[in-house]
Amino acid sequence: MANSDIVNGFIPVSRKIGNGIGSISRYYVDSSNSVAACGVGCMMKLVANTSSVGIPEVDIAGAGEVPVGPVVAFEYDPDAPNRLYLPASTAGYVYIADDPMLIMHVQSSGTFEDGDIGANGDLTDAGTSTTTGASGQEIDQSTITTTDTLVFNIRRLVNKEDNALGANALLEVTFNLHAYGFGAVGEGNFTGVHN
């Protein structure tokens, strides 16, 4: 039976060490940075603060960009109480699972094989669904290789009955690069952001 093609972005499920999904922190998305709709499961990156809100500012991470984590929720907006996502060019607060030890589930964009387990890969983004509010981000199957500068490490195929090797496989991944990650001795793994 073929895998279902259900893209939900990056979904936190656990941590490499300990229980739960680790820290969830509040971040700000400025309207000038938000060039696309942002949904639950969108991988985000730190950007230079342009607003005086006193918390880190983020935007949607693209291919090759060092992430801080996926969005798990949006702060309630009384002017848009039923909104499922943050529309483009709209300021708002998001809650991000920002633990560098996070384990996530995410779909592959192509045909996943046994030999891809343990490799690294990057993301691809088809945009957020304005119907469901889910992120359109996936692991870009075409990027999977041993390159150590790719953002995600593929741990395994998610072990569930309706998931198999092949097209649209659901994967368990961790961060290979993270804004709060651990670099080599005397070095960081992220250059930081600054105005």
DSSP line for 6-65: -----EEEEESSSSTT--EEEEEE-TTT--S-B-BT-EEEEE---SSSSS-EEEE--TTP
Question: Quick one: pLDDT at residue 186?
Answer: 41
Which residues, listed in sequence order, are joined to residue 156 by a DSSP beta bridge?
A: 172
pTM: 0.91
Task: With cut-offs at 50, 70 and 90, classify the pLDDT of residue 194.
Answer: low
The domain segmentation of the chain, as residue ranges, is: 11-175
Sign of CA dihedral 97, 80, 36, 124: positive
Sign of CA dihedral 159, 4, 111, 12: negative
Which residues, listed in sequence order, are joined to residue 186 by a DSSP beta bridge?
A: none
pLDDT digits (tens, 9 = 90+) for 171-182: 999 999 999 987
Question: Quick one: pLDDT at residue 184?
Answer: 46
Query: Please, are residues 30 and 4 in contact by the beta-carbon 8 Å criterion?
Result: no
- pLDDT above 90 as % of the chain: 73
